[in-house]
Chain A
Amino acid sequence: MDISKHLEENKVILFIIDSSRYNDAVIEALKSLPNDGNLVYITLNKTASSLENFLKDKSIEFKNLIIVDCITRTIRDVRDKDDIIYIDSPKALSDLSFVLSGILSKRKKGYIILDSLTTLLVYQDKPVVARFILNMANKIRESRFKSLIFAADVNEHKDFLKEIGIFVDKVVKG
């Protein structure tokens, strides 16, 4: 999935991906991004260490990658590192929003990856998630960042993903 064209024309893109090829599609999309040290990866389904291993296995090495890890602290205590910000839980959307605002104001430009929207629905009700995404999309539009939001294409959430499609600039199915 070459997303370069979509990225040229849009700031906030929702990728709805068939579950059977979810990881491969995420990797393909990541490979289309410039490796200029401005990538922020919000992970909701892998710990930061697991994400680092995953990227390494796929031969992807981003310069100065910042990971916002919403999972590890649900399992064990861990302190923030220079390149990893730990959120207590995917339920803590206010904390995530706060961290996101800090990144957008400090780092000036880049890409925010959210992986994944459907995982967020395990932890939060749909209206709360919808508000969070709308808020995030608005912040991204006011900044020089762009955002890729990944979601698994599951029947259970089809209507919700359609609703989220209204908040973003482009929906890409793959």
Chain B
Amino acid sequence: MDKKIILVVDDEPDILETISEILNLEGYTVFTARNGNECLEKLDDIIPDIILLDIMMPGLTTKEILDQIEQDERLKDTKIIFITAVGMTEAEKEELLSREKVVDFIQKPFELDELLSKIKAVLR
């Protein structure tokens, strides 16, 4: 069976490195990007099963990234889990979850077990 591909997008190098290591150990193929622009550049070359996308990053806004991903037909099966340190209401999260590609949120700081279980749930 092909290894599942995960693109991790976060501007904090420590987080990027830690998540990548853990996901690699779990058997996923992992790509990383440090901001929205890098994320979109990577998406020219890969079609991930899941994008772990930080909401608070330099460069493109979350809305801009999401709009572009949604328009890309190649990414029709790609799902997004938001990683966020931003304070949002449940209603605002629900609104984002109503977008087809957005499947879950994870609030920083988070336990890696929590992240892994969310990823497994999405890929199931």
State the A residues within 8 Å of B (CB): 45-47, 49-51, 53-54, 71-77, 88-89, 91, 119, 122-124
Known pairs A47-B92, A75-B96, A122-B11; A89 contacts B61 (CB<8 A): yes
Which one of B57, B63, B87, B95 lies within 8 Å of A46 (CB-CB)? B87
Known pairs A46-B86, A47-B87; A76 contacts B58 (CB<8 A): no
Whether B61 lies near A75 (C-beta < 8 A) is yes
**Closest A residue to B56 using CB positions:** A122
State the B residues within 8 Å of A (CB): 11, 55-58, 61-63, 85-89, 91-92, 95-96
Whether B58 lies near A75 (C-beta < 8 A) is no
**Closest A residue to B85 using CB positions:** A45
Instruction: Identify whether the interface residues of A are mostly helix, strand, loop, or mixed.
Output: helix
User: How close is B87's CB to chain A, nearest CB, in angstroms?
Assistant: 3
Given contacts A46-B86, A49-B89, A51-B87, 18 further A-B contacts (CB under 8 A): A47-B92, A49-B88, A49-B91, A49-B92, A53-B89, A54-B87, A72-B92, A73-B61, A74-B55, A74-B62, A76-B63, A76-B92, A76-B95, A77-B63, A89-B61, A122-B58, A123-B56, A123-B58
Q: How far is the CA of A122 from the CA of B86 in the complex (A)?
A: 12
**Closest B residue to A77 using CB positions:** B63
Q: How far is the CA of A143 from the CA of B20 in the complex (A)?
A: 49
Whether A75 lies near B63 (C-beta < 8 A) is yes
Which one of A75, A77, A123 lies within 8 Å of B62 (CB-CB)? A75
Q: How far is the CA of A88 from the CA of B96 in the complex (A)?
A: 17
**Closest B residue to A43 using CB positions:** B87
Known pairs A45-B85, A45-B86, A122-B57; A74 contacts B92 (CB<8 A): no
**Closest B residue to A88 using CB positions:** B61
Q: How far is the CA of A72 from the CA of B85 in the complex (A)?
A: 13
**Closest A residue to B95 using CB positions:** A76
